[in-house]
Amino acid sequence: MGTIFISSCILLLATQSCAYASRQVPLRQAETIQVGQELGWETLPLSSSKDLPFKLHELEPVPLAVNGDPDNRVDLVYFGDGLRIANLVSGSVQDTTSERDKFLHDAQSLTDTLLSPGGAFAPVRDLLNFWAVFIPSEESGIGTHGVPKNTTFGLYRPGEELRAVFYAYPERVAAACEALNSQRSNLQDGVRKAKAKHGCDEPILLANDGFYGGLGGTPTVITASPKNGVQVLRHEIGHTLIPVGEEYDGGYAYFGVNAAELQTNTSPQTVPWKHWLSDVEARGTGRVRLENSRVAVQAYPWFDLSNSSFTINFESGKGEYPTALLRFSISGIPDENHLDVSLDDQRVNFTLSKDHRGSLDRTWVQIPLTEGLTSSTDKSGLRQLANHTLEFTARVASSATRPMLSSVEVIEYGTEDK
C-alpha cells in the first residue's frame, strides 16, 4: 500500500476548474487504474449468499439515467451504505423512508450533474447507464478512526480527517454487482425482460456522509457531500473507467492518458492530450507551449488547528518567477473570520466562496500573489534564495467544528511569455 496524491478532477484540461483540489489518499495496490468491465471478480473471495446481510434476488435497481441496452453500455450502479430503515421487529417507529429517499435523490443529482450539458461526462453520456440500489444497513452513517459501523459495506474513514473512505466488505459489493448481471440473464418473461433490463459493470459505493471523501478503484467510493460529491465522483470514476493517473505534480501516479513525460529537449507538440486544450487554435497549429513554474511548497499537514497554529518555512526561487499562487484546503472552517493566514508576518486576505459559507466540509482557497515572493540580493546584486514563513491560525475553534488544515501549496510562475 502506498501513498498517492489524488486531486479532484480527472483530466489535466486547460481549465482552471481542474487541479485545485488535492488530497492525499492511501490507495490499494494497483487496483486503481483498470477498466471496469475487464475487471473480473474471480480474485475476490465471494461470500456465500448466506453470509450476506441482504438477499441477492431482492436487489432492485432504480434507473437514474438509462441511455441504452445494458449489453452494450457501461452500467454504473450506486449502492448506498450506512442507510437505515425502521427496526420493525422492536416496533420502534422511525422515519423509515427518509434515508432511502435521500440516497436516491443524491444519486440522481450526482448523475444529472455529471451528464448535464457541460458536465464532465456529457460527451459520453450515450454510452453510460446509471442505476441506484438501496440496501438498508443496521446503523446510519459511516465509521471513523479505522472502525466501520454495522453497515452493509462497512465504509469508514481511517481517521477523522476528510480524506479517504475505505470499505470493509468488497466481496459483498462484488456479489451485489454480479447479482444484477445474473438477474438480467435469468429473466424469462420477454416483456418483463425488456422493462427490467439492467446490469452492473462498475459499482459505486455512496456513503451516507455529508463530507468530502472517496477512493478510486473497484468499487469506487464517494460520499453524499453536497459541496464535493460531484468532483470526487468524476475524479474517482476517471481512475476507475479509463487509464488516467493524477493530474498534478508531487504524487507518483503520473501516467495514463493525461500524462506527458516531456524532457526539456522534447517538443511540446508531442503532448498526447493536446486535443483537450481549450485553445482550439493550439490544437491544430501546435502552439502548445511549456510554461515555467516552481513548486515551492506542497504539503499535506492534515493538522488540527484547535489548539495551535501551523507554520511552514520555505524558500522561494531566485527571482526568476515574478508571480505566485498560494492554494490551501481546510475543513471545519465555515467563515473566513475563523482563520488567520499570514505570509512573512503579513496578513493574507482571502474569502471563502459564498457557496461554502456556513459549511464544515472541506474547501479550497486560491490566492494569487501577484507580486510574487520577494527574493533578496547579495552584495554583488545577485538574487538569492529567500526564506519565507506561512502561518495558519484558527481564531474560532470548538470540538464541534474541529478546524483542520488539509493541504498547502505555493507555486511560483514565470512571466507571461514563459
Ligand X SMILES: *[C@@H]1O[C@H](CO)[C@@H](O)[C@H](O)[C@H]1NC(C)=O
Residue with smaller CB distance to ligand X, 76 or 207: 207
Judged by CB under 6 A, the residue of 265, 349, 370, 380 near ligand X is 349
Using CA atoms, how far apart are residues 327 and 313, in angstroms rounded to an integer?
15
* Residue span binding ligand X (CB under 6 A) among the ranges 31-39, 219-227, 293-301, 382-390: 382-390
Contact between 407 and 23 (Cβ < 8 Å): yes
Judged by CB under 6 A, the residue of 3, 384, 389, 415 near ligand X is 384
C-alpha cell at 360: 464544515
Counting contacts by CB under 6 A, is residue 386 touching ligand X? yes
In the region spanning residues 246 to 305, those forming contacts with ligand X, defined by CB under 6 A, are: 304
Residue with smaller CB distance to ligand X, 188 or 380: 380
Rounded to the nearest angstrom, the gap between the alpha carbon of residue 123 and the centroid of all alpha carbons in its chain is 20
Counting contacts by CB under 6 A, is residue 336 touching ligand X? no
Counting contacts by CB under 6 A, is residue 309 touching ligand X? no
Contact between 180 and 200 (Cβ < 8 Å): yes
Residue with smaller CB distance to ligand X, 275 or 347: 347
CA angle, 183 then 137 then 179, to 5°? 15
Counting contacts by CB under 6 A, is residue 391 touching ligand X? no
Q: Is residue 103 within a helix (H) or strand (E), and if so which, with residue range?
A: helix 97-115
SS3 content of the chain, % helix, strand, coil (to 5): 20, 30, 50
* Residue span binding ligand X (CB under 6 A) among the ranges 194-202, 354-362, 381-389, 408-416: 381-389
In 3D, which of 315, 316, 303, 299 has the Cα closest to residue 393?
303
In the region spanning residues 13 to 42, those forming contacts with ligand X, defined by CB under 6 A, are: none
* 149 to 188: interface string for ligand X, x by CB under 6 A: -x--------------------------------------
* Minimum CB distance to ligand X, residue 166 (Å): 16
Residue with smaller CB distance to ligand X, 353 or 384: 384
Counting contacts by CB under 6 A, is residue 138 touching ligand X? yes
Q: Which residues are bridge partners to 404 per DSSP?
A: 304, 331
Counting contacts by CB under 6 A, is residue 387 touching ligand X? yes
Using CA atoms, how far apart are residues 218 and 76, in angstroms rounded to an integer?
11
Counting contacts by CB under 6 A, is residue 344 touching ligand X? no
**Which amino acid is located at 106 in the chain?**
D
* Minimum CB distance to ligand X, residue 401 (Å): 12
**How many helices, marked H, and strands, marked E, lie in the chain?**
5, 19
* Residue span binding ligand X (CB under 6 A) among the ranges 74-82, 204-212, 225-233, 379-387: 379-387
Counting contacts by CB under 6 A, is residue 325 touching ligand X? no
Using CA atoms, how far apart are residues 132 and 204, in angstroms rounded to an integer?
9
Counting contacts by CB under 6 A, is residue 307 touching ligand X? yes
* Minimum CB distance to ligand X, residue 179 (Å): 21
Using CA atoms, how far apart are residues 31 and 219, in angstroms rounded to an integer?
9
Using CA atoms, how far apart are residues 203 and 184, in angstroms rounded to an integer?
16
Task: Provide the binding-site residues for ligand X, judged by CB under 6 A.
Answer: 138, 150, 304, 306-307, 347, 349, 376, 384-387
